[in-house]
Structure 1
Amino acid sequence: MLSLLLATALAVWPNQTTAGSAEIELPSQPVPLHGTLLTPEGATRAAAVIIPGSGPTDRDGNSPLGVTGGVLRQLAEGLAERGVATVRIDKRGIAGSAAAGFDEAKLTFDIYVADARAWAETAATRTGQPCAWLIGHSEGALVAELAAADNPSVCGLVLLSPVGRKAGDEIRAQLNTALPEAMKPAALAALDDLEGGRTTANIPGLEALFRPSVQPYLISYLTKDPVALVAAYDGPILLGHGSHDIQVTPDNTDRLAAAQPNAVKVIFEGANHVLRQAPMDRAGNMATYGNASIPLDPAVVPAVADFILKAR
């Protein structure tokens, strides 16, 4: 799948001396991918790529599934104020990169990883930096972990609200909790097939999960192990998690921190999955996802910027 990407080298820009936001492209097949380069006022001290989470999430962290608060744009703006340039990206098939999407049956998780590797090189080149940080949010943290492996274009990892277990384990737990007993045997057997690298039968009532066209993606995704990836990575890692995250609970970060004692762990007290102050009750917590007037938790940008600038 790596061959799907073309060469990523673009014209080298010197360190920026004035703040600016520019649309940039990443050469790719069938058409270029798109993102926003946000440069700080004054010298660029470091560069980072912000990788969105799961589903149809765009460069700003917004999704048609009720997430419209622009949290990744807020993060980028805060980092620019501290001298960190960012490239925030529309994933393949999403928003500005919609035309670069594949037939679902041809999409694999490894394609997202290859794209992230290419974006890291581009971000470093466009900002005149020797390397770029990867900032992954939620599922984007797993993309970042894979893209950083043996990659000299990556300075280190900032993993925000990261998942700390295999996706297959998480889905199995959810199926055991949510499904009627009569449906569990077939669903769990199908999951076993996919984890074993085999396609499986579609299951009536669970087409959204097991439809044939999505199975190649699931086979490439379910066995990725974030704990093993973090344990093996020898670069700097920041693990940031909100204490009120009810979507990906903070024990996920605890597992990653236990696997990599050199990682720095920060808990944002009272923050939720989208890194905003939120109550623990589900309705109040989820209400913050779609409210652009709510700022990021005030500890997030300083924690990320200070870590990057001290470790560079």
Structure 2
Amino acid sequence: MPIPYILARFASLLLLLSRPAAAQSEEPIRYSVTVPAGVNLVLDGTLTVPATLTRKVPVMLLIAGSGPTDRDANSAYGLRTDAFKMLADSLARSGIAVARYDKRGSGTNLSVVHTALRPETMVFDHYVADAVGIIRQLQTDKRFSGVFVAGHSEGSLVGMLAARQTRAQGFVSIAGAGRNIVDVMKEQGRAGGNPAQVQAEVDGVLDSLRAGQRVHPKNPLLKAQLSPSTQPFLISWMAYDPAVALKAYEGPVIIVQGRKDLQVALADAESLKAARPDARLLLLDSMNHILKSVEGTDRNVNFATYKDPTLPLCPGLVPALVQFVTSQAAR
């Protein structure tokens, strides 16, 4: 391990130890799902607030990325980052409250979501509806001066759509796709080393789904990943172009992208920036997809960070978000 990296970790630890123990407090939040009608499903979450509230403060809603990623940016399938918990704690120390929640199919509702919802009925807009509902709950809370929305990865598209519907005070895209998810998935397949024949089948399957057509892939792996019950969700997701969605949102925007991200390309951030030329584009040289710093270009080293929740957040991320929120909240 490089000496500068060890020193950075040690310095971060000293900084944490020097901070007051009661810099923030946590309280539970709950949201009862409203769509589809008649669904009995509650999403649990956490609201982190500055320890002493003497005035109204801005609040940021964090929306997690794809898969069963929970409110802390962890999952039951081996993802252990605590990235959102760290982000919430850091922002609260700077006077910004943070709400985060277990989206459908993650965290506390992972074991019950399929008893409440049939998988084949789930569509992308349900994620958006949940985010909209939670934003509106926060907008009625008199402790908060305004609501900001931050979406990570898949949550970026969810967040920009929800921010538009609720007229949120500002939006943060973190490692968000700037192209249709079909194009991103094709690129990920090629980057992952798919053989040409396999990639050709992947491309054809994805194009069919984007056209709204159900598929019956021959490849056993594709059959497992694209079961009939998951295809309605994918088709609904593929109907959106993130660049178009971001352009439709009229509030202030900051686009955050790490140069060490192996899942979302720099081109995606540039596409979002082209859609909103007035947005700030923040490129963090050492940040990977899970908001942690990586030295070098070894893919195995990069992915190893996905299972180490002790790693601190990438330097530069929190100050940029604090500056964005406080500058907009002051207007």
Show structure 2 runs of 5+ residues with no match: 1-21, 34-38
Q: Which amino acid aligns with 1:90?
A: D
Q: SS at the partner of 2:169?
A: strand
1:18–1:40 Cα contact (<8 Å) kept = yes
Q: SS at the partner of 2:144?
A: coil
Structure 1 residue 203: deviation in Å? 2.9
Q: Which amino acid aligns with 2:32?
A: P
**Identity, % of aligned pairs?**
33
1:60–1:72 Cα contact (<8 Å) kept = yes
The within-5 A match list for 1:128-277 is 128-129=143-144, 131-152=146-167, 154-175=168-189, 178-183=193-198, 186-205=201-220, 206-277=222-293
Q: 2:194 and 2:76 mapped to 1: Cα distance?
A: 26
Structure 1 residue 236: deviation in Å? 0.6
1:56–1:63 Cα contact (<8 Å) kept = yes
TM-score, reference length from structure 2? 0.83
Structure 1 residue 176: deviation in Å? 5.9
Q: How many residues align?
A: 295
1:85–1:127 Cα contact (<8 Å) kept = no
1:47–1:124 Cα contact (<8 Å) kept = no
The Cα RMSD (Å) is 2.1
Show structure 1 runs of 5+ residues with no match: 1-16
Bigger Cα displacement from structure 2, 34-43 vs 107-116:
34-43
Q: 2:121 and 2:95 mapped to 1: Cα distance?
A: 39
Structure 1 residue 181: deviation in Å? 4.5
The within-5 A match list for 1:1-312 is 19-28=24-33, 29-43=39-53, 44-98=56-110, 99-101=112-114, 102-126=117-141, 128-129=143-144, 131-152=146-167, 154-175=168-189, 178-183=193-198, 186-205=201-220, 206-279=222-295, 280-312=297-329
Structure 1 residue 304: deviation in Å? 0.5
Q: SS at the partner of 1:308?
A: helix
2:49–2:97 Cα contact (<8 Å) kept = yes
Cα 1:159–1:187 shift into 2, 3 Å = closer
2:287–2:294 Cα contact (<8 Å) kept = yes
Bigger Cα displacement from structure 2, 245-254 vs 83-92:
245-254
Partner of 1:12: none
TM-score, reference length from structure 1? 0.88
2:132–2:165 Cα contact (<8 Å) kept = no
Q: 1:196 and 1:307 mapped to 2: Cα distance?
A: 38
CA deviations over 1:59-102 (Å, ceiling 9, x no partner): 00012333212000000000100111111110112112333452
Structure 1 residue 180: deviation in Å? 4.2
